[in-house]
Amino acid sequence: MADNTTAVLGTGIMGAGMARNLLTAGMEVRVWNRTREKAEPLAEDGAQVVDSPNQAAEGADFVLTMLSDANTVAEAVGGEMSPLSVLAEDGVWIQTSTVGEEGSDRLAELAAEYGVTYVDAPVLGTKEPAEQGQLIVLASGPEEVREQCQPVFDAIGSNTLWLGSAGVGSRLKLVTNSWIVGLLGVLAETVSLARAVGVDPARFLEAIEGGPLGVPYAQMKGQMMIDEEFPTSFSVDLAQKDADLVLKAARAHDLPLPIAEAINTRFKEAIDEGYGEEDMAAIYEAAKPGSS
Ligand SMILES: NC(=O)c1ccc[n+]([C@@H]2O[C@H](COP(=O)([O-])OP(=O)(O)OC[C@H]3O[C@@H](n4cnc5c(N)ncnc54)[C@H](OP(=O)(O)O)[C@@H]3O)[C@@H](O)[C@H]2O)c1
């Protein structure tokens, strides 16, 4: 018999895969997505597709949000018809979107308004790990609900780090995003430099492969840059949002991050050039030889 009814709000690139893995784990899953057609394929996997966040959460044990940013989450979860007001007694809100430091704190306040336990649990991993249940969950929240949430985390991820009180997960996510954004920016400039000096960038990837410099990410995203084909695992739009979150947090703590600033500008340029919905590797288009 299904238990742990979970309302999944947001069935984009990440949320759809996560919902499927909750179903595979035997849970009852209700899904809501602003664009309903994108959620409908999940009905074939056994999900109930509904028309509002409130309908999804009625009597559910968990509401799991996987939406683009903090404002979108607050809009879906707040208001008169709040899904938080109709959860089962002891229902928990598991917030997995990337919302940054201020965003996570703001959403925790929203949860408190409704008297619902808030677990801040952003994830590491992209489209494929989400589909394969191989995400790394950066969970933070009250220790009392740790055991209760574990079946959800086991379904969506291969590892859960319990990090302390709610908000620590989002702070660690910012730190990992600083690393990812930095890698992408330098990789784009390195592929460009190779081309500018007449070196085949494929030879660069070959030279670093398997050694300490050869992070798998370089092979994966570097190949996309070389091919100039950017099928989306993580969009430029959302990568730029994440770079902004890193910078906002750094500013709030009086920390200058000029490298992240420069890469954020590159992401914005790629968006201006029309690559916002393509994979973040399209930052290359703003860095390649001949671009402004
Ligand atoms: N993709 C990754 O590799 C990755 C990895 C880790 C974390 N994340 C984070 O996970 C979250 C989701 O990312 P994703 O890649 O799954 O993004 P996505 O495919 O673009 O999905 C975004 C979701 O947010 C919804 N949405 C956007 N604006 C909305 C609005 N104004 N009102 C209501 N719903 C709205 C979309 O609904 P529609 O379908 O109607 O547009 C969709 O459900 C983001 O916070 C992202 O930073 C992503």
Q: State how beta strands 123-124 and 135-139 pair.
A: antiparallel
The protein residue whose alpha carbon is closest to atom 42 in ligand 1 is 12
Q: Mind listing the domains of the chain with CATH numbers?
A: 3-165 (3.40.50.720), 171-287 (1.10.1040.10)
Closest-lying ligand 1 atom to the alpha carbon of residue 241: 47
Asked whether 76 and 53 are in contact (CB, 8 A), the reply is: yes
Report yes or no on whether pTM surpasses 0.85: yes
**Taking 70 as the threshold, does the pLDDT of residue 62 lie above it?**
yes
pLDDT digits over 243-285, tens only? 999 999 999 999 999 999 999 999 999 999 999 999 999 999 9
Residue 3: per-residue pLDDT: 67
* pLDDT in the model for residue 247: 98
Region 69-75: what's the mean pLDDT? Answer: 98
- Distance, in Å, from the CA atom of 29 to the CA atom of 43, rounded to the nearest integer, reads 10
Whole-angstrom Cα distance, residue 92 to residue 166? 13
Residue 2 pLDDT > 60, yes or no?
no
Q: How confident is the model at residue 1 (pLDDT cuts 50, 70, 90)?
A: very low
Average pLDDT over residues 73-85: 96
CA-to-CA separations, 155 to 4, 15, 46, 273, in angstroms, rounded: 11, 13, 15, 38
Element spanning 151, H or E = helix 146-156
pLDDT given at position 4: 86
Nearest CA to ligand 1 atom 29: 72
Q: What percent of the chain has pLDDT over 70?
A: 99
Helix, coil or strand: residue 121: coil
Q: What does the alpha-carbon distance between residue 103 and residue 7 come to, in Å, rounded to a whole number?
A: 21
The average confidence (pLDDT) of the chain is 97
pLDDT digits (tens, 9 = 90+) for 145-199: 999 999 999 999 999 999 999 999 999 999 999 999 999 999 999 999 999 999 9
Average pLDDT over residues 222-226: 98
CA 207 – ligand 1 centroid, Å: 36
CA of 239 to the centre of ligand 1 (A): 11
Distance from the alpha carbon of residue 87 to the mean position of ligand 1, in angstroms: 23
**Ligand 1 pocket test: which of 9, 38, 64, 68 has the largest number of ligand atoms within 8 Å of its C-beta?**
68
